Amino acid sequence: MIVIIDFGSQYSELIARRIRETQVYSEVISYRTTAEQLRNLNPKGIILSGGPNSVYDNIAPKCDPEIWHLGIPILGVCYGMQLMVQQLGGKVTRAERAEYGKAALFVDDPTDLLTNVEEGSTMWMSHGDSCNELPEGFEILAHTDNTPCAAIADHEKKLYGVQFHPEVVHSICGLALIRNFVYHICVCEPTWTTATFVEESIREIRGVVGDKRVLLALSGGVDSSTLAFLLYRAIGEQLTCMFIDQGFMRKGEPERLLKLFKEQFHIPVEYVNARDRFLAQLNGIADPEEKRRRIGHEFISVFEEESKRLGPFDYLAQGTLYPDVIESADTNVDPKTGERVAVKIKSHHNVGGLPKDLRFKLVEPLRKLFKDEVRKVGRSIGLPEEIVRRHPFPGPGLAIRIIGEVTAERLNILRDADLVVRQEINRHEVYHDLWQAFAVLLPVRSVGVMGDKRTYAYPIVLRLITSEDGMTADWARVPYDLLEIISNRIVNEVKGVNRVVYDITSKPPGTIEWE
């Protein structure tokens, strides 16, 4: 394992992902971790992340100075390198010129850390401070026009530093450098693979759960489906998968999910039909936040009732992923027992807390994984591509894609229109170019003409989105012909709709969903 000591860099998580791409396991840990704790973790290498501070700030985070003497190879990145230099007796000062963006790296020592790093190759810089006096035992491995000490090493003690960010994609030979550190300097073996993860997590689940019962709320996405599969392989009938059908899923989805689990995975699923209950909750409600709140509350009520009916359960399985673990740090830990406890159901991040008396212990087999790793595991255990590469779908489902009041009639109209969108997006093979593709129903009506008859019906909004992470997004520049086909089909095939409009708003200022 390689540990990444985090000093508050936006790139710490990215470093961990890059290391894992070399098939070596990596974890991000706090800069407060002591040398003793580090020794117990027994990593083969340590990476010190960048950070927003200057090492000479009073509030600058520092690591335990004993870590330099652990005998474990260390690579400091940006702030991490400056800290290494400062704590070992060198000098860091404000650079004459701050350096942001691309810089050409000139290699002075093409061995060791910089093997296969091409002379003049582009590296990504982001720093206002520079090391201008190296500690004893260190030498310069590379420089840029602006930065004399762009890469440094104390070969004997296996301490390395780079002023640039090898983890970002703009650093052309960054991965080569990371591989040198991981394989040659730390002598790690590429053993972090999907198959070993599946094997190990099955063993771990058995160890933790013993003969106790586990409840899993299945949503049909890649996380909960992968989770169900792992748990069922590990503990069989001790697992209960519960699928709560709120009535807000896309056309045919509940049926497809149940069929997949029954016929392909042979995993039993408790189907809870709560459609009428949810719809009744939304009767007469048009305000988006109130809709979400009611859906959230109803979900908790149904969940509570059904878990009592099917239980008792000792554990709740949650699809927590590694980014959640990094973000929430220790906030979900029960201070008395040290166990992680459920404070919210992740797949419905707007649902709020579970009732206090319903505190399960948690089992979270995916908590070491990044999303792309979950997809790989899902694929390796036979989840179909339609689940593995599925677009995100919001917890409250179609209820927040019907603007204003949700009624059974409007749900049916939206489901049919949404199906046309999905069919055409698939048929034209643009599904994987898009982040999301869906229909929204507006509660207004406009005039149209069909045959010789006047129509007065709802419009459908098409929302086709490209995005990297859902935080920012743009409307997709799909061919006009595709828009035309979708529009024609919806107006002709979906009763109650006589107009289709295309949403050309990016995020920001819009959001992806309409509510």
| Active-site residue list | 78, 165, 167
Shortest distance in whole angstroms from residue 467 CB to ligand XMP? 8
Amino acid found at 456: Y
Does residue 212 interact with ligand XMP by CB under 6 A?
no
Render 437-477 in DSSP notation, one character per residue.
EEEEE-S--EEEEETTEEEEEEEEEEEEEE-SSSSSBEE--
CA distance 95 to 130: 5
Residue 151 contacts residue 96 (beta carbons within 8 Å): no
> Do β-strands 239-245 and 269-273 pair in parallel, antiparallel, or remain unpaired?
parallel
Does 512 sit near ligand XMP (CB under 6 A)?
yes
Helix (H) or strand (E) holding 362: strand 361-363
Binders in 481-510 for ligand XMP, by CB under 6 A? 507
Residue 22's closest CA among 218, 231, 185? 185
Q: Cβ closer to ligand XMP: 95 or 434?
A: 434
Q: Pick the stretch among 42-50, 325-333, 389-397, 410-418 that binds ligand XMP (CB under 6 A).
A: 389-397
Q: Which is nearer to ligand XMP, 197 or 393 (CB)?
A: 393
Query: Which residue of 392, 409, 484, 488 would you call a contact of ligand XMP, by CB under 6 A?
Result: 392
Near ligand XMP by CB under 6 A: residue from 11, 396, 420, 459? 396
Mark the segment that binds ligand XMP (CB under 6 A) among 41-49, 85-93, 171-179, 393-401: 393-401
Known binding-site residue numbers for ATP: 219-225
- The DSSP code sequence of 50-94 is --SS-TTSTT-----GGGGGS---EEEETHHHHHHHHHTT-EEEE
Find out whether 315 and 360 touch, Cβ atoms under 8 Å.
yes
Site string for ligand XMP, 324-353 (x = CB under 6 A): -------------------------xx---
The smaller minimum CB distance to ligand XMP, of residues 174 and 296, is found at 296
Query: Using CB under 6 A, which of 45, 378, 394, 459 touches ligand XMP?
Result: 394
> Does residue 166 bind ligand XMP (CB under 6 A)?
no
- By beta-carbon proximity to ligand XMP, the closer residue of 90 and 394 is 394
Stretch that binds ligand XMP, among 5-13, 143-151, 160-168, 388-396 (CB under 6 A): 388-396
Task: Choose between 61 and 394: whose C-beta lies nearer to ligand XMP.
Answer: 394
Distance CA 326, CA 371 (A): 13
Does 203 engage in binding with ligand XMP (CB under 6 A)? Answer: no
**Of the listed pieces 62-70, 81-89, 124-132, 392-400, which binds ligand XMP according to CB under 6 A?**
392-400
Is 395 a binder of ligand XMP (CB under 6 A)? yes
Q: Which residues contact 25 (CB under 8 A, 6 or more apart)?
A: 1, 2, 19, 191, 192, 368
CA nearest to 8, candidates 46, 53, 47, 40: 53
Q: Is 382 in the site for ligand XMP (CB under 6 A)?
A: no
- Strands across the sheet containing 91-107: 26-30, 2-6, 45-48, 74-77, 159-162, 151-154, 139-143, 91-107, 121-133
We find the least distance from the C-beta atom of residue 187 to ligand XMP, in angstroms, to be 42
- For residues 466-485, which are near ligand XMP according to CB under 6 A? 470
**296 is an interface residue for ligand XMP by CB under 6 A:** no
In the complex, the smallest distance separating the C-beta of residue 243 from ligand XMP, rounded to whole angstroms, is 16
Looking at residues 416 to 475 of the shown chain, list those that interact with ligand XMP (rule: CB under 6 A). 436, 470
**Closer Cβ to ligand XMP, 414 or 512, answer by number:** 512
* Gyration radius (Cα) of the chain, Å: 27
Residue 351 CB, nearest approach to ligand XMP (Å): 8
In whole angstroms, the minimum distance from the beta carbon of 397 to ligand XMP comes to: 9
CA distance 254 to 220: 8
Identity of the residue, 28 or 249, whose beta carbon is nearer to ligand XMP in the bound complex: 249
Comparison of 335 and 508: residue with beta carbon closer to ligand XMP: 508
Pick from 463, 461, 471, 462: nearest CA to 507: 471
- The least CB distance from residue 396 to ligand XMP, in Å, is 5
Report how far residue 340's alpha carbon sits from residue 209's, in angstroms, rounded to the nearest whole number.
14
Give binding residues as ranges.
Answer: 219-225
With CA atoms as reference, report the closest residue to 212 among 361, 64, 100.
Answer: 361
Spatial distance between the Cα atoms of 76 and 145, rounded to a whole number of angstroms? 21
What is the SS3 string spanning 133-184? ECCCCCEEEEECCCCCCCEEEECCCCEEEECCCCCCCCCCCHHHHHHHHHHH
The answer to whether residues 326 and 200 touch, using CB atoms and an 8 Å cutoff, is no
Which region, judged by CB under 6 A, interacts with ligand XMP, from 47-55, 101-109, 382-390, 394-402? 394-402
Residues linked to residue 440 through DSSP beta bridges, in sequence order: 461
Q: Which residues bind ligand XMP (CB under 6 A)?
A: 349-350, 392, 394-396, 436, 470, 507, 511-513
